[in-house]
Chain A
Amino acid sequence: MVKETVIKTVNLNCRYGALQVLKDLNLEIHRNEIFGIIGPANSGKTTFLRALNRLNFLNASYSQDGEIFFADKNLKNICDNILRKRIGIIFALPQVLPVSIYNNIAYGPKVHGIAKKDAIEQIVEESLKKASLWDEVKDRLDSPAMKLSGGQQQRLCIARTLAVEPDVILYDEHCSGLDPISTAKIEDAMQQLKETYTQILVTNNTKQAARVSERCAFFLMGELIELDETAALFTEPKDKRTDDYITGRFG
């Protein structure tokens, strides 16, 4: 089976001021896979994700060269807000907005020009169902989103991202602040989403990457050290540094 490439980077270099954070990165991400990225802190995982939807450019000191392609189109030729609608991101800390559960999700569709009330209501319900949150909140959609638990907030953020109908979802250590049960619920939701979306999962938890992802990349100090099928990467890593990291010998 030939896999369709959704995202492709060619000699991608990223810098904050003079600090080089990603070096000559070349990789391809396939449609509908869960692509894991592991590596110690400061190895450039977050920067990579935020390069894909150009959020890095909110930082004035950031610069990059090399190319990124999304669905065969160079990122440079895609309007920022259209790109970010199609490549959604879930942050490490759930960034719920200080409004109701309903309005957190309604915000995205409204931004993209959907105005009809019943259309938005339907989107809210569907997104919450896809993020496995609907049953827990359906009776209190108007209560403040800030009152939800951490795990619920993170699923709300997933629902909010789904509401703008992306193709790709980026997760940046999105379970790092959560307990095992909330994490399990979120991983379940990710498995459900596999049929429709391409997902890129950055995690500081190697076990999670082993559990959830199909292919996995190991980043170290801004370089891609190894990329393989997850099973292969975790059982017989080719690079010694990968082996050291996944067996917990450094980092």
Chain B
Amino acid sequence: MHRRISEYIIESLIRLSGFLVIAFVFLIFLFLLRDSLSLFKEYKIGEFLFGRNWLPISEPPKFGIVPLFLGSIYVTAGAIVICVPVGIAAAMFIAEVAPTFLKNILKSLIEILAAIPSVVLGFIGIVWLSPYLKQTMGLSTGMCGLTGSLLLAFMALPTIISISEDALVGVPRAYKEAAFGLGATRWQALWRIVLPAASPGIIAGVMLGIGRVIGETMVVMMVTGNSPVVPTSILQPLRTLTATIAGEMGETVSGSEHYFALFAVGLVLFIITFIINFIADSCLRRARK
């Protein structure tokens, strides 16, 4: 009897925490939506979504999100182009090629990498990476999209590597033996059999890595130059959605148009991250089937 009651309590607690998580996400969304809608009472939603100028303190103010959105896309796309191939290759190396002792060293190194605070990376970006890029590529300033992309790629790597490595290791040995038994070389087995079999897990890892890149604020605020103009190249200073919110929130008057505009930016960010996590999740679910 006692057993039944305690089990009932534990079960209810678990269920409650589950519901709480859902409720929190939903409330955050509602909260963002409410404040964003306050903006659109006074400011046209079309001008917000398609405006090419972000000038919050001019008269009249302009809240066009295009430069920020593109800034995020440039930096993120740059980071993806760098971290996806590097991350997958590293995972393949750790899972299939590296001898055990090297494997263990690399795995703990990657854990350490994941634990570096982003401020520290931003700091490295300012004092070392950006002057280096400026010099070697002959840029007018090293505080640009590429610097941000490189650092973000670095931040996404641990996620991508460790999840992809799990996926590769999880491929049944039987597949590999079947491939070898037919006379495949190690590379052929890896490329044609193991990699496709692990692909749902790898995609999920990549998506989670990308989610981290899009949501990251500190690094991009420190190294991308913070200039809210429509970027034409990744080598220019630019500004992302996240950096805009973090940078301007302190200067706004609560309840002002600018204040609500920042919430609208937050809503856009929320929706993007939500979509990416959703895709990652469905990939993982497919992988488990």
B177 at the interface (CB under 8 A from A): yes
- Contacts between the two chains (Cβ within 8 Å), count: 64
Is the Cβ of B188 less than 8 Å from the Cβ of A95?
Answer: no
| Least CB separation from B184: chain A residue | A111
Size bracket, chain B contacts? 10 to 19
B46 at the interface (CB under 8 A from A): no
Give the contacts of A62-111 with B (CB-CB under 8 A). 80-85, 88-89, 91, 93, 95-99, 107-108, 110-111
Shortest Cβ gap from B289 to chain A (Å): 11
Is the Cβ of A84 less than 8 Å from the Cβ of B192?
Answer: no
Q: How many A residues touch B, CB cutoff 8 Å?
A: 27
A161 at the interface (CB under 8 A from B): yes
Note all chain B residues with C-beta closer than 8 A to A97. 175, 178-179, 193, 197
- Contact string against A for B residues 181-197, beta-carbon threshold 8 Å, 1 for contact and 0 otherwise: 11111001000110011
Give the contacts of B153-187 with A (CB-CB under 8 A). 174-175, 177-185
Is the Cβ of B180 less than 8 Å from the Cβ of A82?
Answer: no
- The DSSP consensus for interface residues of chain B is helix
Q: How far is the CA of A81 from the CA of B188 in the complex (A)?
A: 11
Q: How far is the CA of A75 from the CA of B96 in the complex (A)?
A: 25
Tell me which of B178, B183, B193 has the highest count of chain A C-beta atoms within 10 A of its own C-beta: B183
Note all chain A residues with C-beta closer than 8 A to B181. 53, 55, 84, 88-89, 91, 95, 161
Name the one of A93, A96, A99, A164 contacting B182, with C-beta atoms under 8 angstroms. Answer: A164
Contacts A58-B180, A97-B178 given: A81-B192 contact, CB under 8 Å? no
Name the one of B182, B188, B197 contacting A160, with C-beta atoms under 8 angstroms. Answer: B182
Name the one of A55, A81, A91, A164 contacting B185, with C-beta atoms under 8 angstroms. Answer: A81
Contacts A111-B188, A111-B192 given: A85-B182 contact, CB under 8 Å? yes
**Interface positions of B (Cβ within 8 A of A):** 174-175, 177-185, 188, 192-193, 196-197
